Amino acid sequence: MFLALTGFWLIVVSLIAFIIILGLIIVLHEFGHFLVARKSGITCHEFSIGMGPAIYKHQFTNTLFCIRAIPIGGYVSMAGEEMTEETIKKDMKIGLILDGDLVTKINLDYNMHADIKGEVVDRDLHDKDGNGMYITIKDDSTGEVKTFQVKEKALYVLDGKNTLQVTPYKECFDSKSLGKRFLTLFAGPFMNFVLAIVIYFIYFCCVGVPNYNSNIIGDVGYGYAGYNYLVSGDEIVSVNGVNVSSWEEFEIELDKYNASFPTSVKIGYMHDGVLVEENIEYSIIINSLGLSNLQNEEYKYPEGLNSGAIVGNVSLRYRDDKNKGEYPLSSGDVITKMRVDKYISSGYTTRGEEITINSWQDIVDNLKDVDIADVYFEYYSLEKAKTNDDPYVKLEDSAPLQTWGDETLNNQRIEKISLKLGISPTYHFSLGGVLASTFKGFWSDFTLIFRTLKLLIAPSGIRQVGVSDLSSVVGIFDMITTMVKNGFLPLLAFAAMLSVNIGIVNLLPIPALDGGRIVFLGYELVTRRKPNKRFEVILNNVFFILLMILFVYVTMNDISRLGFIINKII
């Protein structure tokens, strides 16, 4: 159903999925903060989803619930987080609305209607000592200095539309114990982790878990090597003459054989009660380059050419995106020569020899032990052949492709070269297996971001991951579009991964994020004194601005690829 979606409707469905997934993750994150804050006795002024101007507002009890225009997060504004002691300053001109002798509203706009207007002489709007809140004002109309008690739950009137509750210290974030403040801050990321675990549980309940005790084929992927030989229900009985009786044994023998990177394997299997042996050529995916022989449509050697490696699906990584050449390598082209220039240090390579390519085995043999390198191909270009010119792109004219290095691939648990038959075992429901797979999937996503941060911040060798590789909401939308095309269950798994990532990012020790604020709690725990409030607020604001600048930069990088993304979809 999802696979049938193309063009406009794919974009529409992807946009709906984007809003639901990102909205659910953000709402549950902020609800975690909100719920624990309220349980801890902290007044929450605002519960907001998104940033920027509000497009929807609703006041419920003491909390203003908002949906804002820019979908880049949300926040819960808790009493005591802002510099409330500076809201009303001495000598400030304000207005008071009274109920008898009690102040019910404090107008910060002096020009608004008020029962009394004047200049602030003194005030205590926190009641730290438990003696009640008050404000002393010099009445402009009489010149008298008067003191008024401030009613509990009184409001600051910021302008004609917006108000903020005057909150006693006992209901402020800072008044609570370290434990309660920590739980309030941690509750947001924790809800993201809970959401991911729930999603993964649903996912594995739907797909089941592999039955490794059986050697029956459950599914064969279209376009993969095994598709022309094997079908669901066939029983694998041997690998290169070695008998196997379970899927676990089959994978063990296959891994042993694949250690030398062959491009074919002999598989014995029972088909309709008949023993069959076939020498099956692997589907080869060179993950270090984004190059494969997998074909969505059938390509053949052009007339006059009967050797070389026919290119299948590609996701190539050019070293310089601005220098791809007139005819970049694409599906259906035939690689006839290659050269591998290995990196010896950052920015420096050693020139390799020109190698003739007769088959994919030659490409595999010359890349299986390569770390970081620039790779050049001579190839027959289908696109160039259409112009009736010389169809060959020479080595010296080809755009260099840069491999992902061993550190990057190992860090992300990606094989340098994958040899695929495209077959999978049967799946069955097992509560124990589902639970194990749920937490295994969660832990894999949990550790992934830390491995990625290591590559971003402190790689041990040549840096291959930078800020330009980060994704904003535009990049997330592109990934969701890909998942929508693949189906509902891959979309579920992606939502779980995204939820874990957002939870981890919020726990990073960066001011303006939950993790940065937890660091301040750690400082308080060690020193037994609270950090300077003004310093904390200023630091949080500075880092928030820096994060917004980073967000804009990453978004611009994503937008620069948006035209390509839309063309790819349509």
What does the mean pLDDT of the chain come to? 87
Q: Which CATH superfamily, name and number, covers 210-283+420-427?
A: PDZ domain (2.30.42.10)
Report pLDDT digits (tens) over 458-482.
777 777 776 666 777 777 888 888 8
pLDDT, residue 82, reads 63
The mean-pLDDT minimum among 69-83, 107-121, 365-379, 406-420 falls in 69-83
pLDDT at 4 over 80: no
Distance CA 86, CA 537 (A): 12
Position 563 pLDDT exceeds 60? no
Alpha-carbon gap, residue 195 to 199, rounded angstroms: 6
- How many helices (H) and strands (E) in the chain? 12, 26
Where b means 16+ CB within 10 Å and e means fewer, 417-434 reads bebebbbebbbeeeeebb
β-pair partners for 539: none
- Indicate the pLDDT class of residue 3, thresholds 50, 70 and 90: very low
Whether 569 shows a pLDDT value over 70: the answer reads no
Q: Residue 325's pLDDT is what?
A: 54
**Number of alpha carbons in the 13 Å side-chain half-sphere of residue 327:** 24
pLDDT of residue 405: 87
Q: 355-412, pLDDT tens digit by residue?
A: 999 999 999 999 999 999 999 999 999 988 888 778 999 998 888 898 998 888 888 8
Phi, psi of 264 (to 5 degrees): -150, 160
pLDDT digits (tens, 9 = 90+) for 128-154: 777 888 999 999 999 999 999 999 888
Question: Does the pLDDT of residue 321 top 60, yes or no?
Answer: no
* pLDDT at residue 456 in the model: 78
Which one is predicted more confidently, 496 or 63? 496
Task: Flag the least confident range among 20-29, 94-103, 475-484, 538-547.
Answer: 475-484
Taking residues 80-86, what's their average pLDDT? 62
**% residues pLDDT > 90 (the chain):** 51
pLDDT for the residue numbered 179:
94
CATH number of 87-171: 2.30.30
What is the pairing mode between strands 392-393 and 373-380?
Answer: antiparallel
With bands split at pLDDT 50, 70 and 90, how would you rate the model's confidence at 6? Answer: low
* pLDDT computed for residue 2 by the predictor: 43
- Closest by CA to 292, choosing from 312, 274, 270, 264, is 312
Residue 421 near residue 278 (C-beta atoms within 8 A):
no
User: How far apart are alpha carbons 255 and 264 in whole angstroms?
Assistant: 13
CATH 2.30.30 in the chain: give the residue spans: 87-171
- Residue intervals in the chain for CATH 2.30.42.10: 210-283+420-427
204-260 pLDDT per residue, tens: 999 999 999 999 999 998 888 899 899 999 999 999 999 999 999 999 999 999 998
Examine the pLDDT at 565 and tell me if it is beyond 60: no
Beta carbons within 8 Å of 380's beta carbon, 6+ residues apart:
302, 305, 308, 333, 334, 336, 391, 392
pLDDT over 60 (residue 84): no
Query: pLDDT tens across 158-190, in order?
Result: 876 778 888 888 888 988 999 999 999 999 999
**Mean pLDDT, residues 433-455:** 89
Using 50, 70 and 90 to split pLDDT, how confident is the model at 1?
very low
Q: At what angle do helices 178-207 and 7-39 cross, to 10 degrees?
A: 140
Which residue in this structure is represented by tokens 């497009």?
55
For residue 91, the tally of other CB atoms under 10 A from its CB is 8
